[in-house]
């Protein structure tokens, strides 16, 4: 299998392969954004679809050669260096932020919510810190229209943003979903530790690391969210409507119905946290 076919099998849309650098690219499930990336070194390459993969998948040519080993090591060293630079940049961005309201939060039902906001290329961007075992790993930046991006080279595997009230671990993909979960848990007077994981694949990684909890899955058209939830083996909530996440459900049915629906899944486990 050649590299282009390998990338296509993982959902990436590549028009022309660019050599020797990480390249962002659209994916089949997110054709209008750059939700995939790849790096091609001739005899070896890597692809990653952020929606379904928590780490890059490696391709190598069918020819046997010692050269790929060297290329793999070079690529690893480059990734480590890029990740370190991204962590430093993330800290600098956060230092320039102010706690403010943001149009994206308003569009998701939280007009009075204040979070970190910075100015990037003359645009107001919502900044979501992404933490890992070694501290800050990067940030997710969201513009007024909901466009999302990560810093170049940042390490996303295992990264999360946590809203912590010392309660039951709850894992979800996006920030707006996390905010709706928090509102529902507070309405139910239940404690929570909500982990925003930024993708379905990474949600699996964070849930595995943190331990016993609840999955709040997006009802994706390709069923990625539910498949990840089932793989974890944890109890999970999912909307009956295809295309909805918990934030969409919260907005559609209102807080009372949303909080009661969530309570059915979370209640028994949450009671052990007092």
In a domain, 125, yes or no: yes
pLDDT of residue 201: 87
**DSSP state, 18?**
P
| Token pair recorded at residue 101 | 């309201």
pLDDT of residue 64: 53
In a domain, 85, yes or no: no
pLDDT of residue 72: 65
Q: How far apart are CA 169 and CA 111, in angstroms?
A: 26
pLDDT of residue 214: 94
pLDDT of residue 78: 72
Q: How far apart are the two ends of the chain, measured CA to CA in Å?
A: 54
Q: How far apart are CA 168 and CA 270, in angstroms?
A: 5
The sign of the torsion formed by the CA atoms of 139, 143, 145, 151 equals: negative
| Residue 58, SS3 per DSSP | strand
Are 161 and 141 in contact, with CB atoms under 8 Å apart? Answer: no
Residue 188: domain span:
98-273
Residues 154 and 110 occupy one common structural domain: yes
> What's the whole-model pTM score?
0.77
Residues 104 and 160 occupy one common structural domain: yes
pLDDT of residue 255: 97
Local mean pLDDT, 10-residue blocks, the chain (274 residues): 91 88 87 86 88 86 61 70 91 95 97 94 93 92 92 90 93 97 95 94 91 92 89 93 96 97 84 66
pLDDT of residue 153: 87
Residues 45 and 172 occupy one common structural domain: no
């Amino acid at each position: 299998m050649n590299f282009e076919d390998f990338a296509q099998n993982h959902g990436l849309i590549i028009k022309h392969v660019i050599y020797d650098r990480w390249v962002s690219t659209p994916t089949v499930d997110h054709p209008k954004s750059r939700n995939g990336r790849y790096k091609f070194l001739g005899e070896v390459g890597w692809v990653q679809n952020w929606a379904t993969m928590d780490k890059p998948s490696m391709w190598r040519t069918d020819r046997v050669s010692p050269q790929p080993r060297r290329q793999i090591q070079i690529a690893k060293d480059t990734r480590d260096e890029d990740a370190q630079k991204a962590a430093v940049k993330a800290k600098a961005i956060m230092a320039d932020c102010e706690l403010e309201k943001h149009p994206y939060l308003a569009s998701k039902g939280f007009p009075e919510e204040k979070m970190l906001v910075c100015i990037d290329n003359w645009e107001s961007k919502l900044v979501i810190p992404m933490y890992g075992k070694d501290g800050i790993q990067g940030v997710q930046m969201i513009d007024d229209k909901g466009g999302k991006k990560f810093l170049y080279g940042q390490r996303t595997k295992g990264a999360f943003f946590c809203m912590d009230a010392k309660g039951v671990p709850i894992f979800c993909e996006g920030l707006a979903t996390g905010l709706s979960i928090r509102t529902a848990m507070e309405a139910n007077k239940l404690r929570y530790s909500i982990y925003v994981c930024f993708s379905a694949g990474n949600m699996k990684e964070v849930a595995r690391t943190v331990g016993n909890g609840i999955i709040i899955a997006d009802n994706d058209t390709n069923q990625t969210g539910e498949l990840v939830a089932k793989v974890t083996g944890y109890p999970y909530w999912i909307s009956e409507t295809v295309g909805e996440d918990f934030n969409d459900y919260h907005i559609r049915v209102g807080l009372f119905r949303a909080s009661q629906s969530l309570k059915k899944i979370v209640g028994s486990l949450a009671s052990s946290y007092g």
